């Protein structure tokens, strides 16, 4: 049945003020930015039966004709949840506005970088000045030196090399570790994601420790044959692997607190144990803080969990780029000195240290004060409490879990709930979720103007711009979403 023609809205920008102007459409209006709102101001809602998505649908069809799957990173395609991905027209503060004019409270934050919220005026101003001075030089510039100094001041590293992506950072760190040690084997954990490096796209087998098998077509077995995959948070597996292969292990790489199988913090003392084990066997420990770095504290997860130890190498990304393609890896000076041109291990990048990206990251970090981190922590805790309350009232089995202000909701199976499962410790636990409940929950939230990560295996992100108005919208959407999760049933193929 077709909807009657109603008045919808389109957004325009006039002298820095967002205004909403009527436009004719054949669908009902969704959530819209209030006329005259600016500087992350309040958002009002209009009653809806379904948010309009016609323009996103058309763009998705258009994109699929020229881009594999219609997206440039797989999770954006909504494959895990179904439906049409929202194409975004603009973003400000804690809100996204899609091409159909729907305003969405954003709990993705570009997958982490938007620590201060979208389009922070001081970041935008600094970027505009940098771009006006030239967008790329292919030569050293002040901004990259200042960004490196800021990272060294915050993190337990003595030198850093700037690159353009988290994948590039982890790939380079592993090459450096292999070059420094003269060894080949790499140890990683099942469920920890370190970018789409061939050697790290390995899946664990059924044994306690398994040499990696490629996790995707296109990666030859030889590329993962030197990767040893262990279950996360399993000290015995680590001890066994190093006992058998210690003289061949170049490095162990781990997310400081995994966020790519949902937020799964390390057991108490686990990261320190890893560092000590690596040191005892002459291997290097690489702590991947691409996701947690400068987000969960001014020093990343190491600021929460780093007492008495430090990794040999660290990788950074997301927040340190302020929303631009920028990343880094760093460590002890004697290790970093082995990189060209100081040493023999080659690494290079045309756009590494790009002046615009470095300016965005530097400005973001300088604005990330203690007050900002206190707000992030309080906001994350508040949202977690609201989610727990709504799901509990709807009798939905779940675990809400956090690593600092990074958090996830695990929709545990009824049988797990009956066993009293209160914590997810590893990838096997994360995989056991009732994902059909998440799909229903996701879409019910989206229909009410709240944008969650479109996968049950991703972390949620808040920003310094999430204020009472944004939290109120999340709170208002949760009861209906919780009921949707409670009444959801597995699909006809028998998937969870």
Q: Where are the domains of the chain?
A: 6-118+370-487, 121-367
**Among 106, 188, 193, 232, the one annotated catalytic:** 193
Is the fold of 6-118+370-487 the same as that of 121-367? no
Taking the complete model, does pTM exceed 0.75, yes or no?
yes
| Helical pair 468-487 and 435-447, crossing angle rounded to 10 deg | 140
Q: What is the pLDDT along the chain (496 residues), one digit of tens a residue?
A: 333 322 232 333 333 333 333 333 333 223 333 323 333 343 344 444 567 899 999 999 999 999 999 999 999 999 999 999 999 999 999 999 999 999 999 999 999 999 999 999 999 999 999 999 999 999 999 999 999 999 999 999 999 999 999 999 999 999 999 999 999 999 999 999 999 888 887 753 333 344 555 677 887 788 788 999 999 999 999 999 999 999 999 999 999 999 999 999 999 999 999 999 999 999 999 999 999 999 999 999 999 999 999 999 999 999 999 999 999 999 999 999 999 999 999 999 999 999 999 999 999 999 999 999 999 999 999 999 999 999 999 999 999 999 999 999 999 998 877 688 899 999 999 999 999 999 999 999 999 999 999 999 999 999 999 999 999 999 999 999 999 999 999 874 445 6
Q: In the prediction, which pLDDT does 39 show? A: 39
**Contact by Cβ (8 Å): 493, 402:** no
Q: In the prediction, which pLDDT does 122 show? A: 98
**Among 106, 305, 312, 318, the one annotated catalytic:** 318
Q: What fold, for 6-118+370-487?
A: 3.90.1150
Which of 487, 451, 493, 447 lies closest to 470, judged by CA? 451
Active site residue 188: no
Active site residue 288: yes
Return the CATH number of 121-367, one of 1.10.10.10, 3.40.640.10, 3.40.50.150, 1.20.1260.10.
Answer: 3.40.640.10
Q: In the prediction, which pLDDT does 159 show? A: 98
**Among 98, 234, 288, 305, the one annotated catalytic:** 288
Active site residue 495: no
């Amino acid at each position: 049945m077709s909807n009657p023609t109603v008045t919808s809205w389109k957004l325009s920008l006039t002298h820095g003020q967002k205004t909403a102007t009527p436009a004719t459409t054949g669908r009902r209006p969704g959530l819209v930015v209030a006329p005259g709102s600016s500087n992350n101001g309040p958002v009002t809602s209009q009653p809806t039966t379904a948010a309009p998505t016609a323009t996103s649908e058309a763009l998705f069809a258009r994109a699929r004709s020229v881009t594999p799957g219609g997206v440039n990173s797989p999770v954006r395609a909504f494959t895990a949840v179904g439906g049409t991905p929202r194409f975004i027209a603009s973003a400000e503060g804690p809100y996204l506005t899609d091409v159909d004019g729907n305003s969405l409270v954003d709990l993705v934050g570009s997958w982490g970088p938007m620590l201060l919220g979208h389009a922070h005026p001081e970041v935008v101003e600094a970027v505009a000045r940098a771009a006006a001075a030239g967008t790329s030089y292919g030569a050293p510039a002040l901004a990259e030196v200042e960004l490196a100094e800021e990272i060294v001041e915050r993190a337990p590293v003595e030198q850093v090399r700037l690159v353009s992506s988290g994948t590039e950072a982890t790939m380079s760190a592993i090459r450096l570790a292999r070059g420094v040690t003269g060894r080949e084997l790499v140890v990683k954990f099942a469920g920890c994601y370190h970018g789409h490096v061939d050697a790290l796209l390995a899946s664990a087998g059924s044994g306690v420790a398994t040499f990696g098998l490629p996790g995707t077509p296109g990666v030859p077995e030889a590329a993962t044959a030197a990767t040893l995959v262990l279950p996360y948070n399993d000290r015995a597996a680590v001890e066994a692997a190093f006992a058998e292969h210690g003289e061949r292990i170049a490095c162990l790489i781990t997310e400081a607190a995994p966020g790519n199988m949902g937020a799964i913090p390390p057991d108490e003392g686990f990261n320190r144990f890893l560092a000590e084990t690596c040191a005892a066997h002459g291997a290097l420990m690489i702590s991947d803080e691409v996701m947690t770095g400068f987000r969960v504290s001014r020093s990343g997860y190491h600021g929460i969990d780093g007492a008495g130890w430090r990794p040999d190498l660290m990788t950074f990304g997301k927040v340190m780029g302020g929303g631009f393609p920028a990343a880094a890896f760093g460590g002890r000076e004697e290790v970093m000195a082995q990189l060209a041109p100081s040493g023999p291990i080659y690494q290079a990048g045309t756009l590494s240290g790009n002046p615009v990206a470095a300016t965005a990251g530097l400005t973001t970090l300088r604005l990330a004060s203690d007050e900002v981190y206190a707000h992030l922590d309080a906001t994350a805790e508040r949202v977690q409490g609201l989610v727990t309350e709504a799901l509990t009232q709807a009798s939905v089995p779940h675990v809400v879990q956090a690593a600092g202000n990074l958090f996830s909701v695990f929709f545990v199976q009824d049988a797990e709930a009956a066993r009293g499962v209160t914590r997810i410790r590893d990838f096997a636990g994360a995989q056991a979720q009732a994902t059909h409940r998440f799909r229903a929950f996701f879409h019910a939230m989206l229909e009410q103007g709240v944008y969650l990560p479109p996968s049950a295996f991703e972390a949620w992100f808040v920003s310094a711009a999430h204020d009472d108005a944004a939290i109120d919208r999340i709170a208002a959407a949760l009861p209906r979403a919780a009921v949707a999760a409670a009444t959801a049933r597995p699909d006809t193929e028998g998937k969870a």
